Amino acid sequence: MINDIIEIKLNDSTYSARLDMGAIAEAQNNLQKFKTNIGVVEMLDQVKEDNYLVVNNLIIESIKRCHPKLKDENILENMKLHDKNRIVAYVFELMSVALPTEEDDKKKQVE
């Protein structure tokens, strides 16, 4: 089994977070207000472009997968601008533990 949960520290709060299909779907749904039919690849490319709307949605929805009772506002109040680089790094970490790698693909082909 893959451990796809990471720990995220925002301000004085620590959260568990998981970037899974549910988190991605919710982020896509939230982003529909601004851009119709945004795809997963496009969302992940937007993280590289420092699109904070996408970054915030992915972080918030990933945290809510592990803490479903939290509201967006509860998480947003701990997301400080001076931590923006660390927040973007958390999204990249979430992607690295959640998304399949070329090695995973090679293992599936062998099996």
pLDDT tens across 49-101, in order?
A: 999 999 999 999 999 999 999 999 999 999 999 999 999 999 999 999 998 76
Q: What is the pLDDT of residue 1?
A: 43
> Containing domain of residue 39, as a range?
5-110
Number of domains in the chain: 1
Q: Give CA separation, 106 vs 6, 70, 99, in Å.
A: 25, 38, 14
pLDDT higher than threshold 90 for residue 102? no
Whole-model pTM?
Answer: 0.85
Residues 6 or more apart from 19 whose CB is under 8 A from it? 4, 58, 62, 65, 91, 94, 95, 97, 98, 99
Instruction: Specify the DSSP class assigned to residue 75.
Output: H
